[in-house]
């Protein structure tokens, strides 16, 4: 693990403490209110994911515009522990199924913003685009903007995508059969560098 990744992991651990001290008490207070609005629930999310769900910094993903079924799936896997996370496991367990559906609709209706990411390696973007067309485009359509049952990759935070790929490759997160086959093919043909080129490409898409 490189120095930057170690630093980001340490930052994420610090964020757990900060979140517990601020957002979690707000959620606890909100849970006592029967008519809690989705805006109140979403307010706790924006502490990390930014205004209207557009993530802050290198590693916090943007959740604005996420397909509702994908949002709900991610929250359920955080709840049951099948999707490892530094913060989201404890956060997700604080919501009911109905609240998750309400949040999915709320953030799904927000526009996905794509601010510049100065840490992108522009020298590999062109090759990453070619690799993505071969290995990813069948599911992540329209340069990663669309696709049935998949999240938005176009303009997503680079470090977050790196963490996600690492979890899949280490089998910390389960992959569907088709995804697992594509991952194996990409690794066999291009190694870890192939993944890095693709991720830099998707992060660069506007």
Structure tokens at 189: 């043909």
The pLDDT value recorded for residue 35 is: 52
The pLDDT value recorded for residue 147 is: 78
* Cα distance between residue 179 and residue 29, in whole Å: 41
The pLDDT value recorded for residue 31 is: 47
pTM above 0.85, yes or no: no
Helix (H, G, I), strand (E, B) or coil at 158: helix
Mean pLDDT by 10 residues, the chain (206 residues): 44 41 45 65 88 85 92 93 87 93 95 91 98 95 87 93 94 90 97 98 95
Q: Which domains does the chain have, with CATH numbers?
A: 3-108 (1.10.760.10), 122-204 (1.10.760.10)
**Dihedral of the CA atoms 128, 145, 162, 62 (nearest 10)?**
150
Annotated binding residues: 45, 48-49, 88, 136, 139-140
Annotated binding residues for heme c: 45, 48-49, 88, 136, 139-140
């Amino acid at each position: 693990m490189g120095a930057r990744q170690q630093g980001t992991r340490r930052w994420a651990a610090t964020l757990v403490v900060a979140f517990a001290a601020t957002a979690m008490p707000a959620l606890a207070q909100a849970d006592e209110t029967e008519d809690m609005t989705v805006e109140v629930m979403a307010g706790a999310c924006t502490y990390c994911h930014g205004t209207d769900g557009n993530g802050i910094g290198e590693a916090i993903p943007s959740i604005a515009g996420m397909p509702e079924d994908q949002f709900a799936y991610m929250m359920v896997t955080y709840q049951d522990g099948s999707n490892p996370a530094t913060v989201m496991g404890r956060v997700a367990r604080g919501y009911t199924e109905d609240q998750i559906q309400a949040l999915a609709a709320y953030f799904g209706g927000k526009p996905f913003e794509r601010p510049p990411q100065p840490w992108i390696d522009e020298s590999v973007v062109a090759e990453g685009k070619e690799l993505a067309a071969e290995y990813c485009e069948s599911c992540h359509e329209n340069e990663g903007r669309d696709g049935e049952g998949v999240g938005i990759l176009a303009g997503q935070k680079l470090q977050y995508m790196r963490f996600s790929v690492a979890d899949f490759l280490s089998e910390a997160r389960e992959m569907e059969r088709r995804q697992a086959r594509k991952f194996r093919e990409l690794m066999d043909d291009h190694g870890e560098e192939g993944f890095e080129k693709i991720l830099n490409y998707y992060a660069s898409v506007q």
